[in-house]
Amino acid sequence: MRFMLLMIPHGYETAAPGTIPDDVDAVAAMMAYNESMQKAGVLISCDGLHPPSMGARVSFPGRKPKVVDGPFAEAKEVLGGYWIIDVPSRADAIEWATRCPGSESEVIEVRQIQEIADYPPDVQALTTEFASMQAVKKT
């Protein structure tokens, strides 16, 4: 089962453009955590995200795209990064999340990734090209 561990760092919603982690000890601890997941064979992907002040949101009022550049005044919680892991169960995903060397101002949300097999057969039939779309990686 694939799970996404979503890092929600409180205060990041107001971070200035270009803000990156600069606490060497915290970064070293996080890298050790990432390496432990890699060595255990559960890590698929992980990345940090730039602050929302450098992002944009696209909504679809009336089914027409509307772009709003960050920062976002109404944001209370934003993503700071993520891990995608492959583990046997939700309990295992939660266990990996508890091992994260997060600070008091960080929360990890654990979410299972929907698999094509989770959908009914008629919906699965519409997704025949989905696996090849996921496998494409720009080098």
Give Cβ neighbours of residue 139 (< 8 Å, ≥ 6 apart): none
Q: Output the pTM of the full model.
A: 0.85
Query: Do residues 8 and 88 make contact, with C-beta atoms less than 8 angstroms apart?
Result: no
Instruction: Residue 133: give its domain's CATH number.
Output: 3.30.70.1060
Q: pLDDT tens digits for 97-137? A: 999 999 999 999 999 999 888 888 888 888 877 777 776 66
pLDDT digit string, tens, across residues 50-82? 999 999 989 999 999 999 998 887 878 899 999
Burial of 86 (0-12, 13-18, 19+ CB in 10 A): middle
How far, in Å, CA of 33 to CA of 5, rounded? 13
Number of folded domains that form the chain: 1
Residue 75 belongs to what domain range? Answer: 2-137
